[in-house]
Amino acid sequence: MSVLITGGAGYIGSHTCVELINAGYDVVIIDNFSNSSPEAIKRIGKITGREIKCFNCDIRDSKGLEKIFAGNKIDAVIHFAGLKAVGESIHKPLEYYDNNIGGTVTLLESIKKAGCKKIVFSSSATVYGMKNTSPLKEDMPTGGTTNPYGTTKLYIEQILRDLYASDGEWSISLLRYFNPIGAHKSGLIGENPRDIPNNLMPYISQVAVGRLRCLNVFGNDYDTPDGTGIRDYIHVVDLAAGHVKALEKVLGESGISVYNLGTGKGVSVLELIHAFEKVSGKKINYRIAPRRKGDVAVCFADPGKALRELGWKAERDVDEMCEDTWRWQKNNPEGF
């Protein structure tokens, strides 16, 4: 079986390619390297001992996609490609709508023409908005996103629902990720932010390695045990394994399903800092800063549906997430 991976050079895509190859799938990657490096492709090859087929192609390029579908047998698509910086999306909404929504529509047209009609999509817990109370369940209302990035995920989920309603031959899996962190055990691939990281874990690891001086903890007056925000951090290799399970389902039957991919456990900002300090032996310099606009106090998954229907659950704990992040960061202080 051969799977087309859009955005396969990126953080989650690269780890998923490794898990897919380990599970016996062939992968064909397309990426425009707008937020990644071709070096990631070499590293996937090094980890798996395989020659990796990769095309430098934008998902908005219908002619390029057509050629790739014509020249390669594709049984299903896993669609990671997209822009993902929440803050940037507020300043550049049109870029986000064009790249994420426009790109997805072009990709879906190409998939349909090629006739494979099977797709796993990278959605996000952000579609739950600010109103629901954790643990978040798949049947809770979505909407009320606070930035264009989140809105692209919400709209793409709807586009995929509409597509399935129009043609029941499609097989679609919407995966709502919580907070992926960690890296592959080899230390060869990991998260590689281009600019100053927006997310907590890459910020912590860059402070630890000496690239950044001090972490701002955004608020310690939330209604949580230590006052800092609580999230559901999930090891990226567990997340990648969830894609292999979702793919099996998509290959096996038509339909549309949505799954939370999280651990179900909430961890505070201070708890994550202290876990990282423990495993790395490094002191993380931090200060308490005002709350960040748009943040909720608590966000974690009910991952029960993925366990019941896909037989998947996250296995790795926070210490392992920190250990693996640290190995990657130490070995690659400047990223790829």
- Positions touching ligand NAD (CB under 6 A) are 6-7, 9-13, 31-36, 58-60, 80-84, 99, 103, 122, 124, 177, 179-180
Rounded to 10 deg, the angle between the 38-48 and 11-22 helix axes is 20
Tokens of 199: 């997310």
Q: What is the DSSP letter of 121?
A: E
Assess whether the previous peptide bond of 197 is cis (omega < 30° from 0). Answer: no
- Neighbouring CB atoms inside 10 A of 334's CB total 7
b or e along 217-243 (b: 16 or more beta carbons within 10 Å of the residue's beta carbon)?
bbbbebebeebbbbbbbbbbbbbbbbb
x-marked contacts with ligand UFG along 101-140 as a string, rule CB under 6 A: -----------------------xxx--------------
229 binds ligand UFG (CB under 6 A): yes
Q: How far is the CB of 150 from ligand UFG (least distance, A)?
A: 6
CB of 242 to ligand UFG, least distance (A): 16
- Restricting to residues 260-319, name those near ligand UFG by CB under 6 A: 269, 292, 295, 299
**Whole-number minimum distance, CB 6 to ligand NAD, in Å?**
6
Residue 214 CA: distances (Å) to CA of 148, 203, 285: 29, 9, 5
Q: Kindly state whether residue 240 participates in binding ligand UFG, applying the rule CB under 6 A.
A: no
Is residue 167 packed enough to be buried (19+ CB in 10 Å), middle (13-18) or exposed (0-12)? exposed
In the complex, least distance from residue 78 CB atom to ligand NAD, rounded to whole angstroms = 10
Active-site annotation holds for 149:
yes
Give contact residues for ligand UFG (rule: CB under 6 A).
84, 86, 124-126, 150, 179, 198-200, 203, 215-218, 229, 231, 269, 292, 295, 299
